[in-house]
């Protein structure tokens, strides 16, 4: 008699995990579609590189402004309701692309992107811990890696989708027809997100509640400030937050500039519609690298693999920006392979030893994703002033800091009883 509920519970958990991997696929797909949107809007509105990078500022700025309120809201509503809310908000943002294109307004596009990203931020805050709760703790990392693998698949396919349905139809079209090419794809995305929201609202799935605050959680604004100060005294977190900021900034900057960079006469001189397909190789390399890195880290310490990845990324960027033609293109695409293990490795090294404060330390790291908004804008301005090669070379500073962080992390030892690192 007891076996039936067990089978039912396992089936419910498997269904929930299948749906969650679809969510990870969708937000990876939507995020990287910005790499196609940037050259499209740049040509449509005759934007400078800095102005075009406001796409990433609007998108990743939502992570900074929405993540903390989303965490509080999900604590009140639960994971499932938070996922439904995030899907609904993201669907509304995708639907706003239709009037933005009809109005041919760049500001309206930026507003639509912010709303879309706000929904994805809510999804990220809810979905990552929800996946870890769908089964025993000892297999939580495996479940999250599976979901992240589908996220990488989404980032790989999105540029192919965008190049075929947005850039290619827009080539040689009138401004009005060019603006309209985003309407169909984003309405399709809106419909998919709305359908997923309906599924999550109606299908019976496990509903674990977010964990309660630890008993030492701060009470009141003054105590919260004190707690934040204590967190900032944790050396790995203090070093890791800027590393996350710079890593996301470098990865997004390179992805955002690829189509424009490959259009340069001294690189590949490709039209945008053809260059868009190459962006999928950058994100596809990251997907392959994620699996290779996971295997390598079973034998090699995470800090060592991070040092190697940062050094490899810097070498590839330097090669691309000092060479020309196919070699320059291949080198910058291969940076995706080096990027692959950086985010999870930096994240895990940063929260090591935080104990009961791990969730609040994680919140600081999620806010640091705003680097995907600010670094591309800065490098876009640099591209306007000095060209794409100099702008891409600016990511060397990002990878240099990550290398130094990884080198320092090798010296840290975590005192589990005191929950703080010691040199």
What is the distance between the terminal CA atoms of the chain, rounded to a whole angstrom?
Answer: 55
CA distances from 372 to 32, 215, 265, 295 (A): 12, 34, 28, 27
Position with higher pLDDT, 42 vs 421: 42
Per-residue pLDDT tens for 303-352?
899 999 999 999 999 999 999 999 999 999 999 999 988 888 888 888 77
Both tokens of residue 294? Answer: 């996971």
Question: Cα-Cα-Cα-Cα dihedral of 301, 335, 141, 216, to 10°?
Answer: 80
pLDDT score of 22: 87
Average confidence (pLDDT) over 9-37: 82
Name the CATH superfamily for 1-205.
MFS general substrate transporter like domains (1.20.1250.20)
CATH topology of domain 221-423: Growth Hormone; Chain: A; (1.20.1250)
Predicted confidence (pLDDT) per residue in 302-315, tens digit: 889 999 999 999 99
Residue 215 has a pLDDT of 43
Over range 6-16, report the average pLDDT.
65
CB within 8 Å of 244: residues ≥ 6 apart: 343, 346, 347, 350, 365, 368, 369, 371
| Domain boundaries along the sequence of the chain | 1-205, 221-423
The string of pLDDT tens digits covering residues 236-265 is: 889 999 999 999 999 999 999 999 999 999
């Amino acid at each position: 008699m007891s076996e039936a509920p067990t089978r039912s519970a396992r089936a419910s958990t498997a269904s929930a995990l299948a749906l969650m991997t679809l969510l990870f696929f969708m937000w990876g797909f939507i995020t990287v579609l910005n790499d196609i949107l940037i050259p499209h809007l740049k040509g449509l509105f005759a934007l400078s590189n800095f102005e075009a990078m406001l796409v990433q500022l609007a998108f990743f700025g939502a992570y900074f402004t929405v993540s903390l309120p989303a965490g509080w809201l999900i604590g009140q509503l639960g994971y499932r309701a938070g996922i439904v809310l995030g899907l609904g908000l993201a669907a509304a943002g995708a639907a706003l692309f239709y009037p933005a294109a009809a109005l041919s307004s760049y500001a309206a596009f930026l507003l639509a992107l912010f709303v879309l990203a706000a929904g994805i931020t809510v999804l990220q805050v809810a979905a990552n811990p929800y996946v870890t709760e769908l089964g025993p703790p000892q297999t939580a990392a495996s479940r999250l890696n599976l979901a992240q693998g589908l996220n990488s698949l989404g980032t790989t396919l999105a540029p192919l989708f965008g190049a075929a349905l947005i850039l290619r139809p827009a080539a040689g079209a009138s401004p009005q027809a060019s603006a309209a090419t985003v309407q169909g794809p984003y309405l399709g995305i809106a419909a998919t997100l709305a359908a997923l929201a309906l599924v999550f609202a109606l299908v019976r799935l496990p509903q674990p509640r977010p964990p309660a605050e630890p008993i030492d959680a701060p009470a009141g604004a003054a105590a919260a400030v004190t707690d934040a100060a204590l967190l900032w005294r944790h050396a790995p977190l203090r070093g890791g937050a800027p590393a996350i900021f710079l890593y996301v900034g470098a990865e997004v900057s390179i992805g955002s500039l690829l189509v424009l960079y490959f259009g340069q006469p001294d690189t590949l001189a490709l039209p945008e519609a053809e260059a868009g397909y190459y962006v999928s190789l950058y994100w596809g390399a990251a997907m392959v690298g994620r699996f290779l890195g996971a295997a390598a880290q079973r034998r090699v310490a995470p800090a060592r693999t991070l040092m190697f990845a940062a050094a490899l990324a810097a070498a590839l960027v330097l090669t691309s920006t000092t060479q020309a033609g196919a070699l320059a293109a291949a080198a910058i695409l291969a940076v995706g392979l080096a990027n692959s293990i950086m985010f999870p490795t930096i994240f895990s090294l940063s929260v090591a030893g935080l104990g009961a404060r791990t969730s609040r330390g994680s919140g600081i790291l999620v806010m640091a994703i705003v680097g995907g908004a600010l670094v591309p804008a800065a490098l876009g301005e640099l591209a306007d002033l000095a060209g794409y090669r100099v702008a891409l070379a600016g990511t060397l500073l990002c990878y240099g800091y990550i290398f130094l962080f990884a080198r320092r992390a090798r010296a840290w030892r975590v005192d589990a009883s005191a929950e703080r690192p010691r040199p």
